[in-house]
Structure 1
């Protein structure tokens, strides 16, 4: 409008005057260039920073929109007097509008019609995107009470730090953004210290565990060697006793195998198991044994003695046979078990008797038949 007023006719604004200015885009571009060209090098740097702070980048393709910024944030970075004067200059040139403590570019045409601003935007697309995300994150963090969970870390923090680097292109940050970055830096340093401390603790625990494992393995190897030596001694004793006392030899071989499982203890146990172990029929009769018979399950033994005495033995535990009930037949008898059960037949010269010896301690007579005269 100011450019059109400059080309007025008298006190009238004309369409021809408007066309002569080149339209709004060209007019604001000319006005902005005049302000830029009138500044020194420091002023031009401040103009770039001020304009870019009032630009909000929408995407990574360079699409931008105007952004309202509090004037206090624009003048709180240590150059208050210079920024305030520049803001007044832009306001007078009707390039910036200040209203209710906030400032923004006067028209969207500045974003597209002023080539210099477009060049500034294109030259710092990544930085403007980072600034937008930083501003949003800092505002959200401040609005929610500044919780630690809302702080930056890792790649996000590294990208945001680049905004504060003094390389001649970095833009000033708002107080809330600086507070956000300081808190994020402190939290990041604390996290790294905790990681270092935790790593040291884990390393110490791992070292202690390794040492304990080595010590335990050494103890186990020592114990295994001692057990093997003890087992070898038991095997030697079993070998020495096997001929005259196979029962004791079997017990020693079993003890050696339980102490240490080695080829020697396994062989000794196998040999002792296969060795014949005589059963001691304690309390047996003194008369000679004429014949004997085993039940089909080998758990009952019957011995026939001179004088007609038959003795039953309980072999439930073969190594310790127990004396059961006696049978008195009156004469020497031949005995035999039924092939499918515990039925005992006793044949004397005069009669045949059948006994049920399912319980050898309590036999029951089932039948008795006398032989015909002259038949045995």
Structure 2
């Protein structure tokens, strides 16, 4: 798994996992029973992103203890370790303003790798590629921070060796348990497939010097316009791609109109 700085952290063995679960509770004067330690360890053993999963579950357990609930009752109520993470995600989302919720929806959809006949998975993406042409970059980064701060860690931000800051969903348990995320994905699946294709082609066009030959033509251009009208926001490079397409089409129409005008004038002079 990766630390917040993007360095690889070795996976914990079972004993280390048990210590991380049990020790803080002991120090706080609320030792966990063996059954709870076992359940938490089994749910996270060998899984990437075990620490954020445990953190969410333990936070829920502490809150439950304050209300007089046993750890077992809390885990049953929240649906286990994965359910704790989903509950945390929903809590953060509900705390956002409506404009920020719209950004959060786009962010999470941008971090989903659609499965083709397989399960949907996480996708690591450069943060710049999560910012649409309509967004204020700082506002997007603030929303990312809401989901990535140490107390939450639902999104992991890192800066790999190339210096590009990236984001990814911390744990795939979110796909299994966060109903709102699953609703977003199912509602947007066809749009997401189209958008991934658009982004790939726009990136290829950009990397190769923006040649005219890489631009889409009708009927794809018409489908792209309909897509943009429907979803509204496109990432910056995709919007540039669309603008160049529109300019090229206007230029083509203008040349056709000029050719027809010249033809009409010639016919008039010839008396036809």
Query: Separation in 2 of the partners of 1:34 and 1:176?
Result: 32
Aligned to 1:52: 109
What stretches of structure 1 of length at least 5 have no aligned partner?
Answer: 212-376
Distance 2:103 2:196 in 1: 19
1:64 matches 2:128:
no
C-alpha change, 1:151 and 1:176, in structure 2 (3 Å) is same
Q: How has the CA–CA distance of structure 1 residues 64 and 185 changed in structure 2, closer, same or farther, with 3 Å as cutoff?
A: farther
Q: Which has the higher helix share?
A: 2
Distance 1:209 1:104, change over 3 A: farther
Aligned to 2:254: 193
Distance 1:22 1:207, change over 3 A: same
Distance 2:82 2:226 in 1: 33
Q: Which residue matches 1:328?
A: none
Partner of 2:154: 95
| Aligned positions of 1:4-83 closer than 5 A | 4-6=57-59, 7=61, 20=76, 21-59=78-116, 64-75=120-131, 77=133, 78-83=135-140
In structure 2, relative to structure 1, the CA distance for the partners of 1:65 and 1:153 (3 Å cut) is farther
1:129 aligns with 2:193: yes
User: Quick one: higher RCO (CA 8 Å, sep 6+), 1 or 2?
Assistant: 2
RMSD between superposed Cα atoms in Å: 3.3
Provide, for residues 119-175 of structure 1, a one-character-per-residue CA deviation record: whole Å limited to 9, x for no partner.
11222223212211110100111111110000122222222234543x6xx253222
1:1-376 equivalences in 2 (<5 Å): 1-6=54-59, 7=61, 20=76, 21-59=78-116, 64-75=120-131, 77=133, 78-92=135-149, 93-100=152-159, 101-165=165-229, 170=231, 172-200=233-261, 211=272
Are the aligned partners of 2:131 and 2:235 in contact in 1 as well (CA < 8 Å)? Answer: no
State the aligned residue count. Answer: 203
- Classify the secondary structure of the residue corresponding to 2:171: coil
* Higher alpha-carbon Rg: 1
Q: Secondary structure at the match of 2:219?
A: helix
Q: Distance in 2 between matches of 1:108 and 1:54?
A: 11
Structure 1 pair 55/107, CA: closer, same or farther in 2 (3 Å)?
same
